Structure formats: structure tokens, C-alpha cells
Amino acid sequence: MRIDEHVEGGAVTQRADRSSAARGAAAGEARGEAFESHRARLVGVAYRMLGSLAEAEDVVQDAWLRLARADDAGDAGDAGTMASSDVAPRDLGAWLTTVVGRLALDRLRSACARREVYVGPWLPEPLVRSPTLEPAAQVELDDTVRLALLVVLERLTPEQRVAFVLHDVLGLPFADVAEVLGTTAAAARQHASRARRAVQDAGPARPVPAARQQAAVAAFAAATAGGDLGALVRVLAPDVVLVSDGGGRVRAALRPVVGAENVARLLLGLAAQAGEPGAGLLAVPALVNDELGFVVRLERADGSVDLSVVVPHVDDAGRVGAVDMIRNPDKLGAVRAWADEALAAQEALAPDGSSQTVESVNP
């Protein structure tokens, strides 16, 4: 072979390699865009299964890595039977849902032992946004992310919880649910049926008309901020239950607090801490898992900050029938940044540095 022929052949090979690399880069970019179009939905699916936003985001990121590896290997590996680069967007969504479901199931199984030794009551990691803003794309919100339902789902077996979310929430056929669970369609149907029965038996409150809910939450906030025991007792149902989740990390009631006067005294005791010298309290209305609530930020005289998310659940009679209080710092990472922004906005309105309690709860 002449030298010029060898050089020419090498040039052709290099051009082919560059062309192949360009096609691969374009395919990778398209794959990434397709994945991002599913991200919010996938995080929502995983969150409903796990009750933790941080874990849900980890699971979705793992699904992305599996998709990338499947493309690199030329097939979908153990997560499917079709090369992901050949999957249409609709099929890609189903493929990713299957992967996320399996990963969440694995996490639920491994989390069972950890939850058994959890200190005090367990509540989900809250999803918080401003009542005046459109929902963020991080998680798609609806009634199926409400705290009351997620607490019930926490009592189910991992298989029941995954089956309920995939079938009853997402509407997947039992054949697809069975593929995620690694069982038969009949067994998947049974898991979902048992989960559905548990949800119905727990009887999570039906959505209360917005005006009634706003009135009750506003009265709850005003009575708490004003230190008015009688007014607070009147807005609480006689059998109200307060559940506080500190996870052993901060002070919190280790058992549910029952009864209007007991709950009222506990809440007023917490609010009174803002009156300590050098302390400041900011209570900002928020939508917490699509329900009216508050992010409460207490800055103590020593500079330490105590953060809580408080959700008063309004019953059909227009009174607060339950109060959830999430105080575990491990569950408030995203909320902390949100509260810091709210504090900055509040300080801009009150440049003298005085802390105020925000009581308006109208979206």
C-alpha cells in the first residue's frame, strides 16, 4: 500500500469516528431531554412510595444512570428488553416508571428495619411552596401527596404500597405492577386490594371546602399568635390529635397529644418561646403537601434556629381535627432554604429587624 493511500484511509476512519461521536452526542442530548420531561412525574411517583423527597430524588437519579448504562451497553439490561435509544417517548416513560418502582421497592424493604427503631412518630418529609405561587415542577401535586394518606401508606408492606401507587394512583394495569413487584398479576391485584382496604379503613378526611378550611386555619393562627387559650380550644375539635416528628434529633412529643386543651397548651407553650429575650419568631403561611399550613422559624437568643412545619387538618365541621408538626432537621433541608428566603423578604418589609408572625392564609 502506498503512503498516500494509508493516509487517505486513516482520514476516512477519523471522519467516520467524528461523525459517529457527533451522532452519539446528539442521541445523548436527546435522551437527556426526554428524561427531563419525565423527571417531575418520576419524583412524584417515588415520593408517594417513599415519603421522602431526598430519597425520591436519589431513586430518580439512579434511574437516569441505569438508562445511560443501558444505552452504552446497547440494550436495557435487567430493566427492560428494548434498547433505550430505540424507545419512543411514551415507552420510555413506562420503562422509567418500572425502574423507579423497582428501586423504590428495594429502598422500602431496606427501610423497614430503620423505621422500626425510629424515635417517636414518623411523618413524611414535607413538600412546601408559597400559597401565592404556581406549583413547582419538582413534584406533581394532588390529593395523593397529602400527609394523612402518606402516613397510612407508611403502615403498609412495601409490596402493598408500591402496588397501590402504581395501580390506584397511576392507573397501571396489574400486569405492569406485577413486573415491578416480580410476582404474578393475581398477587399484584391482592397487594393493591389490601392496601386499598387499609386506606379506606383509615378514612383520611375528605377535602374540606376551601373557604371553610381558610377560615379555620386563620382562626388557628390568630389564636396561637395571640396566646388566646380559649379561642384556640374553640377552633380545635374536642378529640384533636397532635403528632410531632422530631426523629430523636430535636425536642418533640414522643407520643401523640390528644384533646383540645392539651394540644392548645402545647402549641401556646411553643409560641411563648418567641417572647424570650433576644428570640424571634416567624410563621409563614405555606402550602404543605397541597394543604394549608405554616413554616415556623424560631431564632433563639444564642443564635440557634429551630424550624418546624405545622399543618392543621380541618374536619368536616370546620374545626382542626388533627395537627401534624414536622421538626426532624433531616426532613427540613429544602424547607430551611425556603424559610431563609421568607425571612429575607420579611426583613425587607420590617427593616428594623423586628420579627413578625404572618397570619394571612388566603392563597
Q: What letter represents residue 83's amino acid?
A: A
Average pLDDT, the chain: 82
Residue 186: is its pLDDT beyond 80?
yes
Of the candidates 296, 359, 357, the residue with the CA atom closest to the CA atom of residue 323: 296
Q: HEC profile for 280-309? A: EEEEEEEEECCEEEEEEEEECCCCCEEEEE
Task: Give the pLDDT confidence score for residue 34 in this predicted structure.
Answer: 84
Out of 82-86, 131-135, 351-355, give the one with best mean pLDDT.
131-135
H/E segment holding residue 241? strand 236-245
CA 10 to chain centroid, in Å, comes to 55
Mean pLDDT of 227-242: 97
Q: Mind listing the pLDDT tens digit for each residue in 276-315?
A: 665 677 888 999 998 999 999 888 778 788 899 999 999 9
Among 9-18, 54-63, 82-91, the range scoring the smallest mean pLDDT is: 82-91
Mean pLDDT of 334-341: 85
Residue 322: is its pLDDT beyond 80?
yes
**Percent of the chain at pLDDT exceeding 70:** 76
Residue 93: is its pLDDT beyond 70?
yes
Among 69-83, 222-236, 284-298, the range scoring the smallest mean pLDDT is: 69-83
Residue 8: is its pLDDT beyond 60?
no
Mean pLDDT of 133-145: 61
Q: pLDDT band at 22, cuts 50/70/90?
A: low
Going along the chain from its start, the domains and CATH numbers come out as 1-117 (no CATH), 210-349 (3.10.450.50)
240 CB neighbour count, 10 Å cutoff: 24
Among 124-138, 270-284, 304-318, 340-354, the range scoring the smallest mean pLDDT is: 340-354
Residue 7: is its pLDDT beyond 60?
no
**Percent of the chain at pLDDT exceeding 90:** 55
Higher-pLDDT residue of 224 and 112 is 224
Residue 4: is its pLDDT beyond 60?
no
Q: Mind listing the pLDDT tens digit for each residue in 247-279?
A: 999 989 999 999 999 999 999 998 887 666 656
Q: pLDDT band at 79, cuts 50/70/90?
A: very low
Higher-pLDDT residue of 349 and 212 is 212
Q: Mind listing the pLDDT tens digit for each residue in 30-72?
A: 777 888 999 999 999 999 999 999 999 999 999 999 888 876 6
Concatenated DSSP letters of 124-167 = PPP-EE-TTSPPPTTS--SGGG-HHHHHHHHTS-HHHHHHIIII
Task: Give the pLDDT confidence score for residue 188 in this predicted structure.
Answer: 98
Higher-pLDDT residue of 328 and 6 is 328
Q: pLDDT band at 26, cuts 50/70/90?
A: low
Q: pLDDT band at 107, cuts 50/70/90?
A: very high
Mean pLDDT of 102-129: 88
Residue 243: is its pLDDT beyond 80?
yes
Task: Give the pLDDT confidence score for residue 81 in this predicted structure.
Answer: 40
The CA distance from 14 to 9, in Å, is 9
Among 54-58, 118-122, 195-199, 345-349, the range scoring the smallest mean pLDDT is: 345-349
Q: What letter represents residue 31's amino acid?
A: R
The CA distance from 314 to 237, in Å, is 9
